[in-house]
Amino acid sequence: MNQEDIRSLEIANYPVAGVDEVGRGCLFGEVVAAAVILPMDKFAYLEDLGVTDSKKLSPQRREKLDRIIREVAIACEIGKATVNEIDEMNILAASLLAMERAIAKLNPQPKHCLIDGNQLLRFKLIAPIPQTTVIKGDFLSISIAAASIVAKVWRDRRMVELAEIYTGYDLATNKGYGTIKHRDAIFKLGYTDLHRQTFKVKIRD
């Protein structure tokens, strides 16, 4: 799908929720998803402001855009899956569960969901909603891009808070990802209760 196809889908099925997750590749912490319904008359405005894939934005830019997205959104919600759930069911299933939990909170409920990636949601918590997967959706869809920013900002803030509790792992900087400093800290200090036990860690020699 290209941007024109996605925009046509958003218009034809309005209101549409963009859904994305963050933290899938981390060693530490929950996986977090956001679901965002934007008013159609704000699409161009948000595009002009630079709403795009959160990974392409600086932390300061993400923070600013997060505030604007939350101000203009019709609905904006966060869903999570815990470390225990990740270890029990695997990261893919946990990510999809976090996405569904975010969608379940939306009021109003969307008529259609745009899901970043290539995996359809399983809808175990709520009645199935028509959905379309979009590879590189956070680049192609303004709704998914907004969700990627909201999820990233929320999880990064959470990691900074947890860094003051779980000291020594450099979480405020690495946000739970497996940097060399983080892996070395695991080797020296061991795993915490918020480290994903099923994720194998390679320690440098």
pLDDT one-digit tens code per residue, 12-63:
889 999 999 999 999 999 999 999 999 999 999 999 999 999 999 999 999 9
* pLDDT interval class at 205 (50, 70, 90): very low
* Dist CA 101 CA 76 (whole Å): 12
* Dist CA 155 CA 78 (whole Å): 10
Helices (H), the chain: 3-12, 43-49, 59-72, 83-89, 91-105, 137-140, 142-163, 171-174, 180-189
Is residue 152 predicted with pLDDT exceeding 60? yes
Residue range 153-168: average pLDDT?
98
Domain segments of the chain: what residues?
Answer: 3-155
Cβ count near 84 (within 10 Å): 14
> pTM (2 decimals)?
0.95
* Dist CA 25 CA 31 (whole Å): 9
Least confident of 7-11, 62-66, 189-193: 7-11
Q: What percent of the chain has pLDDT over 90?
A: 89
CATH architecture of the domain with residue range 3-155: 2-Layer Sandwich (3.30)
Phi/psi of residue 112, nearest 5 degrees: -155, 150
